[in-house]
Structure 1
Amino acid sequence: MSVGKIPFLEAVNGSTVMLPCTYASCIGIKNLYFSWQFNDNGTMQKICDSVIPTEDAKPDVKKYKEYNERVEFVGKNIKNNISIVLWNITFEDGGQYICFGRNPKEKDKNHSAIFNLIVVDELRVVDNTLTIIIASAVGGAIALLMGFMLLKNLTLFVLAKLEEKNKECLVSSSGIDNTENGLSGSKADSKPTPKKK
């Protein structure tokens, strides 16, 4: 039995809530008994129950006492869903709800999941100031780091281009020096020797 990833709900007095529950079995089900109960200060009150003969079979759900008019079985056993809706909740409805199941194919092992309903006057407004400050600081730090990396890469690129240009200047100026100084391999050596008379 599972009531989902978040096993609690905060709801306003007088509203309607869904109490989620699903079941799962790796060997399948046959005559799976399930029930919803409310923990009223240690006394378990039955809300509804039924037997599901086979998977995807729609069960005939029996509702109990005070919940008869305020409970609706909405799971309909579609995709193993046995959720219920509780209409017009009051402060007295706040507390633990137990989704219980017993599968004869699993040697009648008992399974249950607890869902907590918190009934309030009005829903609290969540103050996100701290979250916004943290997100802004992290975002600013990432932007600063990216700017630094971009500036570093640009500087390295410019320095590499300047160094390349300086190498070209050195190569071309060394050729000019050789020619002017008359070193071997220079243009001065290529003059023909004067003829003797």
Structure 2
Amino acid sequence: MVIRLKNTAHLYKMLFGCAVVLLFASFPAAAIDVYTDSELLVENGTTGTLQCTFKSREVISSGASVSWTFLAEGSNASPITIFHYSGGKPYPPTSSQFKERVEWIGDLNKKDASIKLTKMQFSDNGTYACDVKNPPDIDVMPSRLQIRVVMKEALPQTNTAVIVGAVIGAIIGLILITVVTYLIIRRQESNHDYEGCTSTESISSQATRLGKKTESSSEGSRCSSPSAPVQGPVIYAQLDHSGSKSANSFHKMDPVVYADIRKN
């Protein structure tokens, strides 16, 4: 009877252990998702920004850490650590080609684990990996970034640069059109600011019959250049000194006197 009780208790323990295993198996281990660009082109001699963001199911703890590793292009060696961040402090490399060239620009509270690499050179070509841990989130697959250092001429022109260039070009063209139009309008208006006029006059021949007066005619005046002085009206006066006594007698016609009054 005692033996049966012992066997029954052992059976219960086995069943309880299986239940615990099944329970934990139904809840997978916490994991962190890390994201970087797949490829980055950097001009030789400039600064490259290695963007890295992540998602964690846990609140960021003081034990959160970031590690960046580098594997040179075509190398069969193991990756080397070029930067480490832990306990709120950055730990840049003290040796290797990246010494004094790595700068921490991330913020773990904002899920950002980015760094900057200054004075990029062709020997920096290779694969960079960003690894983030936030206990208890420690199950993580590092995200890899391929960097290619190239000359400026090999850099593709971004859509932003194209749009900005088009906008600037349109603005400059509009300004030029506006200025040219304004100058044309001003020039046309200046031609009508002042009008100096000259007249052509023709005097009729003296009348051969008595009592007929000399007639004068003038043609319409035409405006001269705006630089010519303004000319006032011309007054024509005819004086009669014949001293004629009768209406039937002929009288002498004196020369016509022209008085030209001009404004200074």
Structure 2 length-normalised TM = 0.41
Aligned equivalent of 2:135: 104
Q: After TM superposition, give the deviation of residue 126 of structure 1 in Å.
A: 5.5
Match of 1:62 among 91, 100, 117: 91
2:50 corresponding residue in structure 1: 19
- Counterparts of residues 129-168 of structure 1 (less than 5 Å): none
- Tell me how far 1:112 sits from its aligned partner: 0.8
| Paired residue secondary structure (1:92) | helix
Partner deviation per Cα, 1:48-79 (whole Å, 9 max, x = no partner): 11225xxxxxx201011232310100113351
Deviation (angstroms), 1:29 = 3.2
Structure 1 residues 50 and 125, CA, compared in 2 at 3 Å: closer, same or farther? closer
- Pair 51,37 (structure 1): closer, same or farther in 2 beyond 3 Å: same
Correspondences of 1:45-124 after superposition (within 5 Å): 45-52=80-87, 59-64=88-93, 65-66=95-96, 67-106=98-137, 108-124=138-154
Which protein is richer in helix relative to its size? Answer: 1
> Do structure 1's residue 39 and structure 2's residue 74 form an aligned pair?
no
Q: TM-score, normalised by structure 1?
A: 0.54
CA distance in 2, matches of 1:22, 1:38: 18
Look up the equivalent residue of 2:148 and give its one-letter code: I
Structure 2 residues without counterparts, runs of 5 or longer: 1-33, 158-264
Cα distance, 1:7 vs. partner? Answer: 2.0
User: What is the one-letter code of the residue matched to 2:112?
Assistant: N
Aligned alpha-carbon RMSD (Å): 2.0
| TM-aligned CA deviation for residue 35 of structure 1 | 0.2
Distance in 2 (alpha carbons) for counterparts of 1:122 and 1:45: 28
Residue type matched to 2:83 in 1? C
Query: Runs of 5+ in structure 1 lacking a partner?
Result: 53-58, 128-197
Residue-pair matches, total: 118
